[in-house]
Amino acid sequence: MFGMKGDWSLEVKDRYFTLDDYCGAEPRWCTGCGDHGILAAVHRVCRDAQLEPEKTVAVSGIGCSSRLPHYMNTYGFHGLHGRALPVACGIKSRRPDLDVWVATGDGDCFSIGAAHWIHAMRYNMDMTMLVFDNGIYGLTKKQTSPTTPLDVPTNTHPSGSLLPPLNPLTVTLGITNVSFVAQIVDWNAQLRHQVIKMAHEHKGTGFVRIIQRCPVYVEAIGKSLQDEPARMQLLTHEDGVQLDDSVLKLFPNHAEHDPGDLPAALRIAADNSILPLGILYRNRDAPCYDDISVAGLEMSVQEKLAGLNEAFDHFAI
């Protein structure tokens, strides 16, 4: 046509995802529950990283936290109680191209799922693991969980727990080949977003324990920390979380901590007098089991059968 270039072409822009592209069903958590903020942070991290929803999967077990896959407009798997991690590891092993998120709780992970928690940390597969820890069994209406404080009455222990609470940080840091351990509170948006973002960007299992408010059954746990910020200690380092001065002022206690120092991380985690927040440990060189399990993944069915038959031939009589 007259006046038109012969080499014109239609420019097709790359896909751009907004927050709405990651929002699934309307959340049904209680008003004031810390899970709402955690979900918002996950949506934002997915948006900022421009993850393709069809190549993202959220996996969970059972509990209030484990409703998260329903609220993600991605693939999801709502599994059995305590079994989120073996499902997530299986997905990552067979589909290493997928971005895997795990949502679990203090009961789901630290109690019935404890063995899977330990082995998943050792496998160090490339996924983001968020533990929503409210110190109670919320979905089943206020039973003692592994992290319930001694002085908190529950339906199973009306006079308070009989045993001191489990310390998830010291346990996780003591597992061979662990590569990323962090702790945050759900009510500080900037800290929450930065740590979850760093856990997601980490190559390996990004373990984040989130102190999460339950306003229905254990309001005192979260409220006491909010009212007494001096009970918390923000870990700072040039290789750690970077926060604005306005956020830093909210935490009166700061401590310089190198995330590459495992013995120091263990000492910090073992100090029950104060709650550390930030990155406790990071090892970028820890091997990831999914890098090993993908061997032979590209083989055809015929090639796999031929390999099996060749192996069986060694035992032929």
Instruction: Please report whether residue 272 resides in a domain.
Output: yes
| Cα→Cα distances 78→15, 103, 193, 206, Å | 28, 10, 24, 20
What secondary structure does DSSP assign to 166-233, as a single string?
P-HHHHHHTSTT--EEEEEETT-HHHHHHHHHHHHHSSSEEEEEEE---TTT-HHHHHHHHH-GGGEE
Instruction: Please report whether residue 61 resides in a domain.
Output: yes
Domain span at residue 53? 19-313
What percent of the chain is predicted at pLDDT more than 70? Answer: 96
Check if the beta carbon of residue 279 is closer than 8 Å to that of residue 173. Answer: no
Q: Would you state the pLDDT for residue 166?
A: 97
Six-digit token string for 238: 């040039």
**How many CB atoms sit inside 10 A of residue 112's CB?**
16
CA 297-303-305 angle, to 5 degrees, is 105
Q: How many domains does the chain have?
A: 1
Q: Would you state the pLDDT for residue 317?
A: 79
Six-digit token string for 3: 């006046």
Which CATH number fits the domain that encloses residue 85? Answer: 3.40.50.970
Q: Would you state the pLDDT for residue 3?
A: 47
Instruction: Please report whether residue 248 resides in a domain.
Output: yes
Instruction: Please report whether residue 1 resides in a domain.
Output: no
Instruction: Please report whether residue 3 resides in a domain.
Output: no
Q: Would you state the pLDDT for residue 7?
A: 55
**What is the DSSP code (8-state) at residue 315?**
T
Find, among 189, 214, 209, 180, the residue nearest to 276 by Cα: 209
191 CB-near residues (< 8 Å, 6+ apart)? 184, 185, 234, 241, 243, 247, 277, 278
Query: Over the chain (317 residues), what is each successive 10-residue block's mean pLDDT?
Result: 52 83 96 97 98 98 96 96 97 96 97 97 98 95 95 93 96 98 97 98 98 94 91 94 91 95 98 96 97 89 90 87
CA distance 196 to 39: 11
Find, among 37, 182, 42, the residue nearest to 99 by Cα: 42
CA distance 234 to 254: 5
Instruction: Please report whether residue 60 resides in a domain.
Output: yes
Instruction: Please report whether residue 70 resides in a domain.
Output: yes
Instruction: Please report whether residue 114 resides in a domain.
Output: yes
Q: Would you state the pLDDT for residue 315?
A: 87
Q: Would you state the pLDDT for residue 228?
A: 93
Q: Would you state the pLDDT for residue 5?
A: 53
